[in-house]
Amino acid sequence: MVYHSSLSLSDLFSRKRKDQTAAADAGGDAPAYPTKALAKFLSSLNARPQPRLVDLGPVVGTNVNFFGEELGCKIHVEDLFSDIERHFRDGKLDALQSFFAKRFAQEDGTVDGILCWDIFDYLDKSAAQALARELIRMLRPDGMLFALFNIVEAATKAPPAYTRYVVADRHNLQYRSYVAARGKQRPLSPRDIQRLFEPLHIAEQFLLKNNLREVLFRKASAAKTTDEGGPADHRAAD
């Protein structure tokens, strides 16, 4: 396994302190919820030799170890949540669109899998479109992208928070909340989600009981045209 992070050394120490604080606040008994999509995401990458994985979430040591052991992969942790937080606090949210357009060093078609978590819940339309374009660009043909989307309007009285998704195993995720300056935005409709990631097609999606929609996107293989994909598989989680 090869691990890369876009954070500087000082950022890593700062992030480590924040991780420790968040872990202490959340505790080891943070709630765990079933995930239907993660196992399928892993299975799609298992057959590939040393796949390259991009994680848009914060650094979570146990996740790095988990994906390394499961996939023997090269993993790049980008922590876009810290980018959103910085832009919001600096009053520069309008600059996120142009920032995302230049954010990633990965070359075209070089990434096998992308973990978005719920990053798109915190973006306005222009920033979401800019980020989606970059992720689509990076994905290899037949590459997979895993994303979570909130399906209900966030409670206005609830303090804004990000969620650190900690992999317990292939079928369960722990949700660990930590303080955010920017809250979730209006939920995207299924049609908006599909349009946002075109020409990727939805391989599968699952509605979870905790009001999240898990979606697996696949990039068409080089030997297929983008309109050959069958209908998306819609299932409800147990």
* Cβ within 8 Å of residue 35, ≥6 positions away: 171, 172, 173, 208, 214
Task: Output the pLDDT for position 14.
Answer: 45
Task: Output the pLDDT for position 25.
Answer: 39
CATH class, range 2-236: alpha beta
Q: Where are the domains of the chain?
A: 2-236
Low-confidence residues of the chain, pLDDT below 70?
Answer: 1-29, 154-156, 223-238
Angstrom distance (rounded) from CA 115 to CA 66:
13
Task: Output the pLDDT for position 157.
Answer: 74
Angstrom distance (rounded) from CA 214 to CA 208:
7
Task: Output the pLDDT for position 28.
Answer: 60
Task: Output the pLDDT for position 81.
Answer: 98
Task: Output the pLDDT for position 88.
Answer: 97
Task: Output the pLDDT for position 97.
Answer: 97
Task: Output the pLDDT for position 30.
Answer: 79
CA 69 to chain CA centroid, nearest Å: 19
Q: Are 48 and 153 in contact (CB under 8 A)?
A: no
Task: Output the pLDDT for position 47.
Answer: 85
